[in-house]
Structure 1
Amino acid sequence: MSDDISHPNPPQPGPARPFSGAERDAVYRAIHERRDVRGQFLPDPIPDEVLMRLLGAAHAAPSVGLMQPWNFIVIRSDAVRRDIRAAFDRANDEARAMFPPERQALYSQLKLQGITEAPVNLCITCDRTRGGAVVLGRTHDRDTDLYSTACAVQNLWLAARAEGIGVGWVSIIRDADLRAILNIPDHVVPVAYLCLGHVRELYDQPELQARGWAKRHPLEQMIFHESWAQD
């Protein structure tokens, strides 16, 4: 049997037409109005068709070698969410102690999760065996599967903004706790634990900036040309 897998009639690309002005503006609006939501969740359920559109947007993300390493664990159970919340609380106590005393008071005022308030929690994982031992484009950087999964997270986040759904990323939690509670196998990495739900309101800037924890750096300071800028 021949190993030639070339397509007898390869597909032909079509024209790359730009979006209309309104369509383009909507994309940039979703990007700039996306927020990490913690305390504004409403209890209203997310309709199944809306959730499937969000998961479809995540599944349409680019992935190196088309490996599509992601899976989506949808969590609605009160019991599971309580377990996750308890794991967060333990990790959050540890995290608070890592900051200097002068920042701990502000840290304690920040709401950093909406685990039990949001009607849907979602764990997006990366299966590090997806695609086999050798994957096109992953031959020299094994972590491209993790980068690809992060693209799926961002796709879902932007689609959620367009749907009027808030998303909050819970990162203060031990990997081992997530694995134990959600029964995640060793070869799978939990990349993002997200809270999803309708929201009462959104901040007009990142909440951490609004609360004085950090601020966005000017874009001009982030751009180098031809090579890394030297001081």
Structure 2
Amino acid sequence: MKFNQDDTEALLQLLSWRRDVRHFEQTPLTAQQIAKLLDAIDLAPSVGNSRPWKFVRVQSDTLRDRIYQNFLKSNSDAAGAYSGEDAEKYDKLKLAGLKEAPLQLAVFTDTEPSAGKGLGRQTMPETLTYSTVIAIHNLWLVARTMNIGVGWVSILEQSKLNKILDVPEEWQFTAYLCIGHPSFNSKTPELHEKDWQLNAKTEWIER
């Protein structure tokens, strides 16, 4: 199949509207929508075709609350790293949609997968995690085409996630995703809008 300039422009538009969402409506996703997200994950490439990603759907209110408490403590600890104006700005940021997002996925990377037989990761074992991140990005982009938002919660004490969710020790926590219909849409990253960090253009480094 050959693509054309219209396809390129459509993809660039999709990328420009892909945002980290933290404000969600509580309307549940349909089974068909969730199936599409799983299809997107399955299309992701991976080192040695190892498919090291492990997605855990967190539905239990008890487990969600434990993860939320983990976030609150981690966020409080992180806030302590800032002072002055930055501390005031940090306290005003909404950094997770854990209380609203109808679909929540904990994502792990299997650090000892038998699939792939080690191909491509003997010198760079971190490519397993890179593969998982690509799968997440696949899900993120397809979600956006369905007007569904995704938020990546990174302010968590990852060492406790395996125990909270009762998963194997060799699964390395990679991401916690909040997914649902955004309560509003914006083309501008929220951290840019809140004057925390402005977007900048990427420039090549020549050698």
TM bracket, shorter-chain basis: over 0.9
Aligned to 1:8: none
Aligned to 1:186: 169
Q: How many residues align?
A: 207
Aligned to 1:11: none
- Alpha-carbon separation, structure 1, partners of 2:179 and 2:116: 34
Aligned to 2:17: 33
Aligned to 2:94: 111
Gaps of 5+ in 1: 1-16
Deviations 1:8-31 (A, max 9, x none): xxxxxxxxx432444333222221
- TM-score, structure 2 length as denominator? 0.94
Aligned to 2:128: 145
| Aligned-residue offset at 1:104 | 0.8
Deviations 1:168-211 (A, max 9, x none): 00000001221221112210011110000011212221000000
CA contact (8 A) 1:78 1:116 kept: no
- Alpha-carbon separation, structure 2, partners of 1:63 and 1:196: 23
CA contact (8 A) 2:50 2:116 kept: no
- Alpha-carbon separation, structure 2, partners of 1:125 and 1:55: 15
Which aligned segments of 4 or more residues in structure 1 are displaced greater than 6 angstroms?
A: none
Gaps of 5+ in 2: none
- Alpha-carbon separation, structure 2, partners of 1:217 and 1:144: 27
Larger Rg: 1
Structure 2 counterparts to residues 69-218 of structure 1, below 5 A: 69-131=52-114, 134-218=117-201
Aligned to 1:24: 8
- Alpha-carbon separation, structure 2, partners of 1:59 and 1:37: 23
- Alpha-carbon separation, structure 2, partners of 1:132 and 1:70: 11
After superposition, the Cα gap between the structure-2 partners of 1:140 and 1:24, relative to the gap in structure 1 and judged at 3 Å, is same
Q: Which has the higher contact order (CA 8 A, sep 6+)?
A: 2
Q: Which amino acid aligns with 2:176?
A: Y
SS at match of 1:98: coil
- TM-score, structure 1 length as denominator? 0.85
| Aligned-residue offset at 1:134 | 4.6
SS at match of 1:140: coil
| Aligned-residue offset at 1:116 | 1.7
Q: Which amino acid aligns with 2:19?
A: R
- Alpha-carbon separation, structure 2, partners of 1:90 and 1:197: 24
Aligned-pair RMSD on alpha carbons?
1.5
